Structure 1
């Protein structure tokens, strides 16, 4: 996985990107484990991770990891919405994709990329 720092970034930004990239697979695994127990919004997953760790976990990191799971076809939108960080907006509640859903998503993504 390539660090997500912009070209010309300061050394601290590059170091932070490298650190986040190194930690990303572990956080994806932890979020995946939480989703085994049922659908979650990123905010719900964030709260559970902070509760487990007793330490600060960035909500933006949780959202990014859930985004990568979605792009890989591993999680799908349940159609349900939960409260967002502001407690006003509605956010997607994600669940683990069934094998057929995952295969269909990957096939559609690959067909779109081939065009």
Structure 2
């Protein structure tokens, strides 16, 4: 269930960020049409909105991954690093069940 929630919330964050990007383009074009130096005005408005927007989107994705870890991921307490999100993967199956391998 956590994998579903994680992918759903990440997709919603990406969709909202892209919609806000379209709004940023329109707002920057509008402000550029009003000003004298349109290229500089467009760049200031566009990058002034999009850089914090995508930084916050990446941050929210990290929060979502920590809050709803996938089934192959878990939070563990490491001695020097504290709580960390680690990804678990089984590389190969053990021998026959019930027997110890050498």
Instruction: Give the number of the structure whose residues are more often helix, by fraction.
Output: 2
Larger-gyration structure (1/2): 2
TM-score by length of 1: 0.28
TM-score by length of 2: 0.31
Which has the bigger relative contact order, CA under 8 A and spacing at least 6? 2
